[in-house]
Amino acid sequence: AASHVEDISESSYDILAIDTANSQKLRPLLEDIVTNTDFFKYYRLDLYGRPCPFWSDEGMCGNRACAVDTIDDEDHLPEIWRSEYLGRLSAGSTIESDDLDDALGDETEESCVRDNDLHAPVLPQSRPMDYCSPEDVSGDGPGVYVSLVDNPERYTGYVGSHANKVWEAIYTENCFPDSSRSSYVSQTSQQFTSAVGRPLGQALMEGNKQRIREGGERGRQALNSENTCIEKNVFYKIISGMHASISTHLCNEFLDTDTGEWGPNLDLFMEKVGNFPDRIANVYFNYGLVAKAVAKLRHYLEDFTFCTNAQGYDADTRRKMLRIAVEADRSVHSHFDAKQMFRDQPELKEEFRSRFVNVSRIMDCTGCDKCRLWGKLQVTGYATALKILFELPDDCTGQNIQLQRMEMVALINTFDRLSKSVSSINMFLEMLAHPDSIP
């Protein structure tokens, strides 16, 4: 029992550190960058053109809340992204045409690097470094632009067997071949326990203490009894953390059909997330993982070109991004160590990667447009984080960053989603601790 208490106090520190870093530093910075910069606000993806590759589509969501408002009138887009513009540029090229110079004006000598291999009429193949199935985001491809600000991730009413089936298919991708257990398991199980520690300290949930502690202990025992390798563990946590984060958002912005008002639904949150300490832990795990990837980017940003608008290269966007990367490095201390992955079994890396690519393809089976938009974006965000952590060298100053624009947009928006989840989880636990304050 004593060591269990120690585990809780020791690892809860990390959770508290994330809470503090998030509320005091990263949440405001992320909220600002995804809301106020064109670069991170507009996302281009193939939302409608890719059929579900695993089963025939049935049960599409017809609710208005499931619909996505796409940007059909390109006049609403920054000029640099309009298809007439993109169409004039060759795939994979560095944009250095006179036209572009005109558009960029005199203020910059930068050029905009276009995504590679995106003009293919068939689905582009994932490249050896990709952890997701790439989208066709070329100007003349089937992709659409959406404003992420105008299509918030929230409750849509997409429920039932169709939605469950998609999640089930995603979790099935976690079926790695049996592998030897690694010592890392006991470390990660301590982190699982950290979710138990966090609500204890933060939300003063006296009545729930024992129950949550027991839940965490059960999760830990189950984990320890399994023959689980690090890679499978990490894969599962990413998926489960993403799932819990999505659930948190839909509970936070829930539509009360009686009143027609949007607001938090504590009971639904407890049912989907709050009663499962391991799910909360996985949200924090993902926060640490994505923060680590973003932090690593700080060395690369000097050479990354943000073409935000026709007025030219947007130094402001870069500065904002750099602040986030530096803050993520300074204040988020994640236990996630990419070097421990695939060390004992290098062959698992390809398996891990191809299974993650499959998860991204399963997203096309999601029968609700809004859910598919955010699902695809977040899987791309995690895939980008994995690519940065596993494929980019640490000493990278001056190296060309092999990231497409949409990967960067997805990464930062996924970080923002996790940041919002962490703040919502705290809010829900406060509500739980002070039920009298709920209106």
Annotated binding site for FAD: 154, 156, 167, 240, 243, 272
CA distance 314 to 304: 11
Please state the closest distance from residue 223 (CB atom) to ligand FAD, in A: 13
Handedness of CA 242, 245, 247, 253 (dihedral sign): negative
User: How far apart, in Å, are the Cα atoms of 126 and each of 123, 349, 361, 388?
Assistant: 9, 15, 11, 16
> Is residue 16 within 8 Å of residue 198, measured between CB atoms?
yes
Buried b / exposed e along 287-322 (16+ C-beta atoms within 10 A): bbbbbbbbbbbbbbbeebbbbbbbebbbeebbebbe
CA distance 279 to 421: 12
Q: Is 243 in the site for ligand FAD (CB under 6 A)?
A: yes
Stretch that binds ligand FAD, among 40-48, 155-163, 285-293, 314-322 (CB under 6 A): 155-163
Binding mask 271-290 for ligand FAD (x = CB under 6 A): -x------x-----------
Stretch that binds ligand FAD, among 25-33, 39-47, 151-159, 314-322 (CB under 6 A): 151-159
Across the strands, what pairs with 145? 44
Which letter does DSSP use for residue 70 in this model?
Answer: B
Q: Is 306 in the site for ligand FAD (CB under 6 A)?
A: no
Binding mask 211-240 for ligand FAD (x = CB under 6 A): -----------------------------x
CA distance 102 to 27: 37
Residue of 66, 251, 365, 368 marked active site: 368
If one counts every other C-beta atom within 10 angstroms of the C-beta of residue 187, the result is 15
Please state the closest distance from residue 280 (CB atom) to ligand FAD, in A: 9
The correct pick among 86, 250, 297, 418 for binding ligand FAD (CB under 6 A) is 250
Q: Is 169 in the site for ligand FAD (CB under 6 A)?
A: no
Please state the closest distance from residue 59 (CB atom) to ligand FAD, in A: 12
**Residue 138 one-letter amino acid:** S
CA distance 212 to 432: 13
CA distance 44 to 136: 9
- Residue closer to ligand FAD by CB (options 133, 317) is 133
Please state the closest distance from residue 304 (CB atom) to ligand FAD, in A: 29
The correct pick among 277, 375, 382, 418 for binding ligand FAD (CB under 6 A) is 375
Mark whether 368 is an active-site residue.
Answer: yes
> Is residue 382 within 8 Å of residue 286, measured between CB atoms?
yes
What would the two tokens of residue 269 be?
């949150």
Q: Is 421 in the site for ligand FAD (CB under 6 A)?
A: no
Mark whether 365 is an active-site residue.
Answer: no
Axis-axis angle for helices 315-331, 2-21 (nearest 10) = 160
In total, the chain counts a number of residues equal to: 439
Q: Is 163 in the site for ligand FAD (CB under 6 A)?
A: yes
The correct pick among 5, 60, 120, 159 for binding ligand FAD (CB under 6 A) is 159
Q: Is 153 in the site for ligand FAD (CB under 6 A)?
A: yes
Q: Is 374 in the site for ligand FAD (CB under 6 A)?
A: yes
Q: Is 244 in the site for ligand FAD (CB under 6 A)?
A: yes
Catalytic residues: 368, 371
Q: Which residues bind ligand FAD (CB under 6 A)?
A: 153, 155-156, 158-159, 163-164, 166-167, 240, 243-244, 246-247, 250, 272, 279, 363, 366, 370-371, 374-375
